[in-house]
Structure 1
Amino acid sequence: MADFQANTRPFAELDRAGRTRRLRRLAEAALTAYAVPVARLTPLAHGLNTMFRVDGADGHRYVLRVQRPDGPGAAQVRAEMAWLATLRRETDLVVPQPVPTRARDLITVVADPAVPEPRTCVLCHWVDGRFADERLTAPQLYEVGRFTARLHLHGGRMNGLDRGRVDDLTEFGRTQVDGFSAAVVDRAVTAAGGDQRIREAVARVRAVRAELGYGADAFGLVHGDLHQENYLFHRGRVRAIDFDDCGYGHYAYDLAVAVTALAHLPQREELREALLDGYRSVRPDAATTDHAVLAAFAGLRRVQLRLH
């Protein structure tokens, strides 16, 4: 009786383990779209999306991502995969390599009666490496800076992909023509309990965006969430994963995300300067790495995380 009740309970009432079990069945169905002989499917850490490690009978490993229903839609996920595929083809940057379906699509959309809505799924080759965080060193952050600059050089050429802005203030802001409109800011202030400092943060970012402009030297396709859980190291080289939040924005936003994520580390100032030095070694653009510019985008990032 308990098993029957577990299988018939509404998805929204399940705990994380229960949802993962349901989504595992959906993941198994998604894998039938790929010419990959599956030996084992293992749940990974559950974030906004649900991830599974796929061990192939061919000896290769993959990651299957089951997209959250309130995240980017199928067209936007396909655009994300298109950028990754282009990066793999046109650069030596190590990022996830999408696996096309048998139909040569970069996504598959799967439905399961036990899950309330169809889910977009993608399969990528596994990216080897180790995360560092507390063990991060200045030479490593220098390489992260170089990697980020090269990513931005490529992103500046990727026009027209179906991806949104990374700097919209809130989810509601993404539905508006202006992600910083008065209505968006008013809602954000209300959601933050009337904290008027949000208006000040928005005003600073507005001024910085206007000063930087929107030319390819300052604005393009960026990762959008480049922190210690999304870059790793393998044999001295940096690798980046989880491009789910990628979109259009100022390059300084990506750097501000990386800098903000170092705040808990005692060596944060040394790491910050190494990151910026590495970036400038590839893109000697003083405006993008200016401390006041980064501080403005860091303030925006903190507001976004608070209201997420």
Structure 2
Amino acid sequence: MAMDEQAARRIARAALVRYGLDEVDLHFVKFRENWVFRAECGGESFALRLHRPGLHSVVEIQSELSYLEALQQRGFPVPEPVQTRDGQLICAIDAGDGGTVLVDVLRWVEGAAPLGDAGAAFDGTSPLTPQDFHRVGALAGTLHNHLAELGRLPGFSRAAWDGEGLVGERALWGDPLALPVLSAADRELLAGAIARLATDLTALGDGPDVYGVIHADLTPENILVRGDELVLIDFDDFGEGWHLFELATILFFYRPHPRFPDFVDAVIAGYRTQRPLDDRQVRLWPGMLLARGLTYLGWAAERPGEETSVWLGEHVVPVVLNLARDYLSEHRELV
């Protein structure tokens, strides 16, 4: 279902009534996978998400929101889910074409701004410091400790960023080799790196010391700064995966930044203040960074012509190709 902003606003207002929010000022925030609006009502603000049909099921969204509730109860800084008048976390609104749109509402994180953004990360102008990334690494370690203690909550249903999900034939975000801008030589290079990476990921295993429930999109754009506090938002990609994949996600877009090696050291050091990260995992850092990059190429391949896809094709493809060359070269040197 293609939905324009007018239709999205109609659905948003219908959903807000279910949450007891009748008289609101509604402001468009963004549209990527989902439509996101800010609703202001009675001196309070709320984030309203209209989920793209087919992206996540009711059970999957319920899993995400259940974890947000559990994390907040533990004192970990995340947005608070809001219940409908009848005590539900999700509502389904008639889309007007025979289908429905799933909607949820979170309390807006007031007085906060994103820690960083991908554009400034990628062009090297980001003002973030190693100290900032040390804090982010510690945040990720604390998150993983909470998630490990929570385990799989009842009804857990989320995608797995495992070997199949990252580099398998049915990768979660699509086939990176299908991206049209790749040459035959590019595809051959990436295919070789993917085969090597699949073997290394299998060897890493999925024990609780290396693998578990993760955020899966822990970029500085999804970390809000509120005073001295860091607040983690946007659990839309939330699922199971390697802890090291989480750290690779933090830093992928900073790969071209001149201080990238310092940022890597800082994230790992910060993480280790909260949770062990052994050398066996760290040795796979180049491969996990490559895995993260491949997911972005798969995402772009699935959405040809979109503005973000074009940007990924122009700017991220060269980075991923270099990561693949370095990764394969490193393996040849070890043989």
Deviation at 1:248, TM superposition (A): 0.5
Does the C-alpha gap of structure 1 residues 287 and 117 become closer, same or farther in structure 2, counting only changes over 3 Å?
Answer: farther
1:127 aligns with 2:127: no
User: Shift of residue 20 of structure 1?
Assistant: 1.2
SS of the residue 1:295 aligns to: helix
Distance in 2 (alpha carbons) for counterparts of 1:21 and 1:298: 39
Task: Give deviations 1:209-243, integer Å, cap 9, x for gaps.
Answer: 33332222111110111112111211122111110
User: Which consecutive aligned stretches of 4+ in structure 1 deviate over 6 angstroms post-superposition?
Assistant: none
Q: CA deviation at 1:305?
A: 0.6
CA contact (8 A) 2:163 2:202 kept: no
1:246 corresponds in structure 2 to 238
2:7 aligns with one of 18, 22, 26: 22
Describe the superposition over 1:164-186 as per-residue Cα deviations: whole angstroms up to 9, x where unpaired: 112466xxx69xxxx725999x9
Q: Distance in 2 between matches of 1:196 and 1:182?
A: 19
Aligned to 2:296: 305
Residue type at the aligned position of 1:296: G
Structure-to-structure mapping, 1:13-52, within 5 angstroms: 19-52=4-37
Q: What TM-score comes out, normalization by structure 2 length?
A: 0.77
The separation in 2 between residues aligned to 1:153 and 1:79, in whole angstroms, is 18
- Letter matched to residue 135 of structure 2: E
Aligned to 1:8: none
1:208 deviation in Å?
A: 3.1
Q: Are the counterparts in 1 of residues 179 and 297 from structure 2 also a CA contact under 8 Å?
A: no
Residue of structure 2 equivalent to 1:112:
95
**C-alpha contact (below 8 Å) 2:94/2:100 kept by paired residues:** yes
Letter in 1 for 2:152: N
Matches within 5 A, 1:168-179: none
Q: Which runs of 5+ in 2 are unaligned?
A: 117-125, 300-335
Normalising to structure 1: TM-score of the pair?
0.83
**Alignment partner of 1:123: what SS?**
strand
> Aligned residues: percent identity?
26
Please point out which of 32, 46, 68 is paired with 1:62.
46
User: 1 CA distance for matches of 2:293 and 2:31?
Assistant: 23
Distance 1:149 1:75 in 2: 27
Tell me: CA distance 1:50–1:283, structure 2 relative to 1, closer, same or farther (3 Å). Answer: same
* Match in the other structure for 1:142: 134
Aligned to 1:231: 223
Q: Which runs of 5+ in 1 are unaligned?
A: 1-10
RMSD across aligned C-alpha pairs, in angstroms?
Answer: 2.5
Alignment of 1:170-209 (within 5 A): 180-181=168-169, 189-191=177-179, 194=184, 195-209=187-201
Q: How many residues are aligned here?
A: 281
Shift of 1:246: 0.5
- Structure with bigger helix share is 2
> In the aligned structure 2, how far is the partner of 1:208 from the partner of 1:38?
55
Tell me how far 1:264 sits from its aligned partner.
3.9
Map of 1:258 onto structure 2: 250
Cα offset for 1:274? 1.2
The answer as to whether partners of 1:218 and 1:288 remain within 8 angstroms in 2 is no
Report the equivalent of 1:268. Answer: 260
Kindly indicate whether residue 277 of structure 2 is the aligned counterpart of residue 285 of structure 1: yes
8 Å CA contact 1:63–1:126 kept in 2: the answer is yes
